[in-house]
Amino acid sequence: MSVGTDNLRAWAEVNLARLERNLAHIRAALPPHLRYVAVVKADAYGHGLAAVAARLMRAGADVFALANLDEAAALREVGLGWPVLILSAILPGERARVPALDVMPTLSSVDEANAFADLAARRGRKIRVHLKVDTGMGRLGIWHTQFEELRSAVAAAPGLELAGVFTHFSSAGSNDEVTETQRRRFLKAVQPVARPGLLIHADNSAGIGSFPEGGPFNGVRIGLLQFGVRPAGGTFLDRVHVEPVLSLHARVGLVKNLPAGTRVSYDGTFKLRRPSRIAVLCAGYADGLPTRLSNRGQVLIAGRRCPIIGRVTMDQTLLDVTDLPEAPQPGERATLIGEDGGQVLTVNDFARAADQVAWEVFCTVSKRVRRVYTRDSAT
């Protein structure tokens, strides 16, 4: 799988065959009528939008969800015809791009509904919209007790077509009681509008852990899980077989021996307690290794865990490789996320050491890190 990476200093391997299998497994675990909304915001969680979206289109995603209109424009370059939902608020100055890109905005207020109604009237074409209900997240959406105002504003606007209604859970997988309260509030709000053809969706990756049988839900919004990472969640999620899509690597640039007592890295943040062999890794915070990993994180070399010592710097990170049976060589491959020789460092391991959440780990991997794609299903 490392073919073609010999000259890369830091890179991410993205296995698109696994992505496709993950989608199939998630689908198979859910009721068959559910529409799969593939959440591919933030450059498909750092995996690369073009390749990921193309594969998900082939794999049978029904709808794509993105954070903003620039991302939607990039998705339109990948393939035409898929419904696209914009999850974030649209700025007043951006509204004209909504009909131009033929995407569905998320409406959270009567003002937004009126603005899009005017725009639709001026353009003489319908704009399909999703209404968001705030059931307790306190972020986007109209507060659930006021949903009727938004619903009737949209119903009264000939230029707006109601395509979907949704909410977002604040504590899916971590607090079932809060999630159930949100689900109840949402169901009460949408009951009057539920009709065939309307996309009613609430669950993200963690949410499907408590997906209810029956009920009006006919869509799920899947981000993290399709990339093979399980958020904290119920036992249901354990039954969905997913494999990690991304692994993160860097090469050793230099190996050297230093005497005991040497203080290494900026400000001498780490003092060697013994004569040590140090590997200088060709990756730092400019590649997406948070400084929080300083003196905390681990990296795999030759199937062994090597501790990060000293401060993570912009382009380089120091590893203690004294305990490796053989000294690594310059050019040797190291694994920051992924599997090597039977040892595994998961995204969640990385996130724990870095004080991040798994979503953030992916978003932090920078542009400098080349994404290398595996497309076949052999691995």
Ligand X SMILES: *Cc1c(COP(=O)(O)O)cnc(C)c1O
Contact footprint for ligand X (CB under 6 A): 39, 41, 87, 168, 204-206, 221-225, 231, 359
Residue 65 or 312: the one with the smaller Cβ distance to ligand X is 65
Residue 36 or 270: the one with the smaller Cβ distance to ligand X is 36
Q: Is 234 in contact with 351 (CB distance < 8 Å)?
A: no
Residue 185 or 249: the one with the smaller Cβ distance to ligand X is 185
DSSP letter (8 states) at residue 292: G
In the complex, the smallest distance separating the C-beta of residue 357 from ligand X, rounded to whole angstroms, is 10
* CA angle in degrees (0–180, nearest 5) for 371-374-376: 160
Residue 205 or 316: the one with the smaller Cβ distance to ligand X is 205
In the complex, the smallest distance separating the C-beta of residue 22 from ligand X, rounded to whole angstroms, is 12
Q: Is 233 in contact with 209 (CB distance < 8 Å)?
A: yes
Q: Is 20 in contact with 379 (CB distance < 8 Å)?
A: no
* Annotated catalytic residue within 41, 45, 132, 285: 41
Provide DSSP, 190-251.
HTTT--TT-EEEEE-TTGGGGPPSSSS--EEEESGGGGT-PPS--HHHHTS-----EEEEEE
DSSP letter (8 states) at residue 189: H
Q: Nearest residue to ligand X, using CB?
A: 223
Three-state SS letters, 301-364 = ECCEEEEEECCCCCCCEEEECCCCCCCCCCCCEEEEEEEECCEEECHHHHHHHHCCCHHHHHHH
Q: Give yes or no: 266 in active site.
A: yes
Pairing of strands 304-309, 63-66: unpaired
Residue 173 or 328: the one with the smaller Cβ distance to ligand X is 173
Q: Give yes or no: 41 in active site.
A: yes
In the complex, the smallest distance separating the C-beta of residue 41 from ligand X, rounded to whole angstroms, is 6
In the complex, the smallest distance separating the C-beta of residue 89 from ligand X, rounded to whole angstroms, is 12
Q: Is 335 in contact with 10 (CB distance < 8 Å)?
A: no
Which helix H or strand E contains 255, and what residues bound it?
A: strand 246-258
* Annotated catalytic residue within 126, 188, 266, 367: 266
Check the CA dihedral 295-369-44-71 and report its sign.
positive
Q: How far apart are CA 312 and CA 110, in angstroms?
A: 48
Residue 46 or 223: the one with the smaller Cβ distance to ligand X is 223
Q: How far apart are CA 75 and CA 56, in angstroms?
A: 12
In the complex, the smallest distance separating the C-beta of residue 225 from ligand X, rounded to whole angstroms, is 6
In the complex, the smallest distance separating the C-beta of residue 239 from ligand X, rounded to whole angstroms, is 17
The catalytic residues are 41, 266
